[in-house]
Structure 1
Amino acid sequence: MKKEKIQAFLALFTATFFWASAYIFVKQLLDNVSPYVMLVVRFGLASLILIVIYNKRLLQINLEMLKAGIIMGVFLFGEFFTFTVGLQYTTTSRSSLIIASYIILLPFAYLLIMRKRPSLSDIIVSIICMIGVFFILGNDLGSFHLGDIYCILCALFYALYIVISSKYSRRYDSGILNVLQVSTTATLSMVVLLFVKDHRFYVTFRDGFQLIYLIILCTTLPFFLILYGMKHVSATTSGILLSFESVMAAFMGIMVLHEPFTLNLFIGGTIIIFSFILSELLPKILKR
């Protein structure tokens, strides 16, 4: 395996770990901080840090780069808005595993953006993953609530974001794209904040530490690592590596926040993890 590919795997895995830990910090911060304010602070400060880091490269921005970065930022905002707001209404373990259903939507995102039809293996994996999601949601409609709707929308935005990022990260400078997508997300977050009434921001010393962790290790660093990784591996492989975020987040939620570990969660989570592995193995099996 080439050195660049190994580095890409490590970059994506590191980003996955930090994004998984973000579930814990966001969930705890929501007790004192409005999700809308959190988005503004998180992405606003992250964008300022990135602008300082990449200030010289920003002189290279042209119209095509600007367009690409803004498009990525729109889908990134959709992903993090639905994730942050949705986490108010559900547990981190349930949220992370439902969001992991983006693996179902990846083939259709490819079809929509890349005009590439889903293969037989894509369809099989999607069906298996969907079964896992149904287990997590529960056996009756009564267990389906507002948080689940936000998580499903987050999965949709996540799938679209992965395909779009894979497309543009190979064409343009990752540092410039990072600045543009995070700044776009910060701007859209500020616009939303103008139209909502929830402006809570009661920050303790512990909350301040958690916010700094979110801004630097869960926002600024991961996007750089992800865009670097996507330059050297396929979008499908990137999606599979990033999918382990859900497993890590669910485990952290149960261990750190003492969230309930139900049979449905175990069965559904196992099926979803199996679908991740199958998405890599099945295409090779069917080609034989």
Structure 2
Amino acid sequence: MSRSPEGARVFWGGVSLVLIALVWATTFGIVRSTVSGYAFPPFAFLFWRFLLASVFGTAYYFPALKGITPRTAWAGFVCGGFLFVGFAGQTLGLMTIPAARSAFLTGLFVLMVPYLAWLTLDRPLETHIVLAAGMAAVGLFFITNPGTDSLSRGDLYTLLCALGFAGQIVALEEAGRLADYRQLFIVQLVTVLVLSGAVMLWREGFHVPSVNFVWMTIAFTALFATVLAYAVQTWAQQIVPAAETALLLALEPVFALFVSAFVYREFFTHLQATGASLILAAILVVSLVGVPAASSRSASES
């Protein structure tokens, strides 16, 4: 049975979103291998990743950068600051916690978005959001360290990452009304590049990768997980309904779990698997029912 042209476009748009979720899922393991296994400094990794992403992103969107205003630059800088917090927290967290755990904790940004919108934009909190937050809190307890009295440092860094990504989404929703999304995208990339470079020089010194695997990780995360993923997601979300988009992108932590298990031999305990299921269910509740502010993760965040 053949599909109509419009049905075919929606189908391939959905396939593209699934592939994006898979690409993002693979980044947790390879970034962890880079900063933990190969002990490459985290902010040096971010510097090189966003240097490459900024160069190729600017080349791709160069015609749209003409006439960028100070207002757009400032909005992009604010959004980029939140994005930097997200990536810094995620990368620091991956030094000590497994990739799949990082993926599920990062996914909590979906639940943080409506709360930040409530605090900063006076958006209403709906009942399903509060219930989803309760589910996620129980899931967080199960997936981290239920036998201890506190979260690990890696867990805390990753929760900070989720908060940074949530802040970026709320800020970007407001900034998006004022400026071209392509200009905002490039300013955000450059902001993360500059902030990563500054912290690298302050805390780590200047580092150039000397291992091929590190360079391959930098290239993959910069080109495929950032620039290409953003371009494809922008196209796909024009033709795929928002609810389906949220559902397909929510596959990211599920894919990360399978990648961690089959490639890195990192497994959840039964209790952690229960926690992961609760977190995923909470993410789906918020994503599919709807939130007061956009909850879809932009590819610039991965």
Report the TM-score, using the length of structure 2 for normalisation: 0.82
Secondary structure of 1:195 counterpart:
helix
1:69-115 deviations in Å (ceiling 9; x for gaps): 11221111111011111110111011111222223312212213432
Against the structure 1 CA distance between its residues 246 and 145, is the aligned structure 2 distance closer, same or farther, given a 3 Å change threshold? same
Secondary structure of 2:282 counterpart:
helix
- Tell me the CA shift for residue 15 of structure 1: 3.2
Q: Which residue of 2 aligns with 1:224?
A: 231
Cα distance in structure 1, aligned partners of 2:196 and 2:242:
27
Cα distance in structure 1, aligned partners of 2:10 and 2:140:
31
Q: Which residue of 2 aligns with 1:21?
A: 26
- Range with greater deviation from structure 2 (1-10 or 162-171): 1-10
Q: Which residue of 2 aligns with 1:95?
A: 102
Q: Does 1:110 align with 2:117?
A: yes
The AA in structure 1 aligned to 2:210 is: V
| Structure 2 unpaired stretches of 5+ | 1-5, 291-302
- Range with greater deviation from structure 2 (159-168 or 176-185): 159-168
- Range with greater deviation from structure 2 (224-233 or 118-127): 224-233
- Range with greater deviation from structure 2 (159-168 or 113-122): 159-168
Against the structure 1 CA distance between its residues 241 and 33, is the aligned structure 2 distance closer, same or farther, given a 3 Å change threshold? same
Against the structure 1 CA distance between its residues 204 and 281, is the aligned structure 2 distance closer, same or farther, given a 3 Å change threshold? closer
Cα distance in structure 2, aligned partners of 1:78 and 1:12:
25
**Cα contact 1:96–1:245 (8 A) shared by 2:** yes
Bigger helix fraction: 1
1:2-23 deviations in Å (ceiling 9; x for gaps): 9987777555544332221111
Cα distance in structure 1, aligned partners of 2:74 and 2:238:
19
1:157-207 deviations in Å (ceiling 9; x for gaps): 122222333443455323222111101110111111121036554432333
The AA in structure 1 aligned to 2:255 is: M
The counterpart of 2:91, out of the listed 72, 84, 95, is 84
Identity %: 24
Secondary structure of 1:56 counterpart:
helix
- Tell me the CA shift for residue 210 of structure 1: 2.4
Q: Which residue of 2 aligns with 1:252?
A: 259
- Tell me the CA shift for residue 223 of structure 1: 3.1
Cα distance in structure 2, aligned partners of 1:234 and 1:73:
27
**Cα contact 2:142–2:272 (8 A) shared by 1:** yes
Cα distance in structure 1, aligned partners of 2:63 and 2:257:
40
Against the structure 1 CA distance between its residues 101 and 54, is the aligned structure 2 distance closer, same or farther, given a 3 Å change threshold? closer
- Tell me the CA shift for residue 142 of structure 1: 5.2
Q: Does 1:37 align with 2:44?
A: yes
| RMSD over equivalenced CA pairs, Å | 2.9
The AA in structure 1 aligned to 2:28 is: Y
1:1-288 aligned at under 5 Å gives the runs: 12-30=17-35, 31-141=38-148, 144-169=151-176, 171-197=178-204, 201-226=208-233, 241-280=248-287
The AA in structure 1 aligned to 2:154 is: G
Against the structure 1 CA distance between its residues 244 and 149, is the aligned structure 2 distance closer, same or farther, given a 3 Å change threshold? same
Q: Which residue of 2 aligns with 1:286?
A: none
- Tell me the CA shift for residue 136 of structure 1: 0.3
Cα distance in structure 2, aligned partners of 1:157 and 1:140:
28
**Cα contact 2:247–2:288 (8 A) shared by 1:** no
